[in-house]
Amino acid sequence: MSISPSDNLTHIFRQATPSDKMAMFLSTWFGAGLIRFAPGTWGTLAGLPVFFFLKDLGVVVRCLFLGILTYIAVWAANRCRILVNREDPPMVVIDEVAGITIATLLLPFSTPNIILSFFIFRLFDIIKPFPVKQMERLPGGIGIVADDLMAGIYAYLSVRFLTAVFPWNITQF
């Protein structure tokens, strides 16, 4: 009788220290990464409430939040990577949360900005243009998170470009 991946994960979680349980909980972004089909997309969707949370805060507070989130993401992703013995476990989606956060961090709050950011971020995270793919080679949790941060920067710049090019100013919808 073989052990399924979910049984193995349950076993790992039960045996983990409280700190490692917190790392697993955060790295899966409160369980969103445990959805088997397209966990990165679910993680990105689960990260969108951060945009709502940050929308009325100042730029300095937003940037401070991103810095703290990134630090936590690197730590949690690295711990989960070690616990499950995989270089980039698909269940780790806190990196997508950091990526979508950077993609929306300085955008005006609007439905089109949310939708564009989501789809463009997912596109860059999936196709991994230079240097996104190369950032995955960085060691440990840094490599897990850095590629998503770069995809987030690309998404942010793309949304800014689109809102500057189109005369109807889609940020007003």
Burial environment of residue 119 by CB neighbours within 10 A (0 to 12, 13 to 18, 19 or more): middle
Other CB atoms closer than 10 Å to residue 100's CB: what's the count? Answer: 29
Percent pLDDT > 90 in the chain is: 77
On average, the pLDDT of the chain sits at 90
| Phi, psi angles (nearest 5°) of residue 57 | -95, 155
Cα atoms found within 13 Å of the Cα of residue 9, Cβ hemisphere only: 17
The structure's pTM equals: 0.90
| Across 133-143, average pLDDT | 95
Average pLDDT over residues 69-93: 95
Whether residue 164 has pLDDT greater than 80: yes
State whether the Cα torsion 100-103-106-110 is positive or negative.
negative
Strands (E), the chain: none
- Give the C-alpha separation, 64 to 27, whole Å: 19
The whole-number average pLDDT for the span 82-103 is: 95
